Amino acid sequence: AVSAERATSCDSGNSVHRLSCDIGVISVQESLYGREDRVTCSEGKHYYQLANTECSLAGTTELIRRRCDGKKVCELITASDIRILDPCPGILKYVDTNYTCLPALTHVACEQSLARLHCDQGQVIVVYGADYGRRDRTTCINGRPDSQLQNVSCSKPTNIVATRCNGKNTCDIRALNSVFGDPCPDIYKYLEVAYRCKYPSVTDS
pLDDT tens digits for range 140-195 = 999 999 999 999 889 888 999 999 999 999 999 999 999 999 999 999 999 999 99
Measuring CA to CA, how many Å separate 92 from each of 74, 76, 78? Answer: 23, 18, 13
**Single-letter amino acid, residue 63:** L
Domain ranges in the chain are 3-102, 105-198
CATH architecture of 105-198: Sandwich (2.60)
The answer for 41, left when phi > 0, alpha when psi is -120 to 50, beta otherwise, is left
By C-alpha distance, which of 116, 128, 129 is closest to 171?
116
Is 78 a residue whose pLDDT tops 60?
yes
The C-alpha atoms of residue 202 and residue 205 are separated, in whole angstroms, by 8
CATH, domain range 3-102? 2.60.120.740
Q: Which residue has the higher pLDDT, 14 or 189?
A: 189
Mean pLDDT of the chain: 93
Is 204 a residue whose pLDDT tops 70?
no
Is 20 a residue whose pLDDT tops 80?
yes
Three-state SS at 185: coil
Whether 3-102 shares its CATH topology with 105-198 is answered yes
| Residue 202: per-residue pLDDT | 52
| Residue 84: per-residue pLDDT | 85
Q: Which pTM was predicted?
A: 0.76
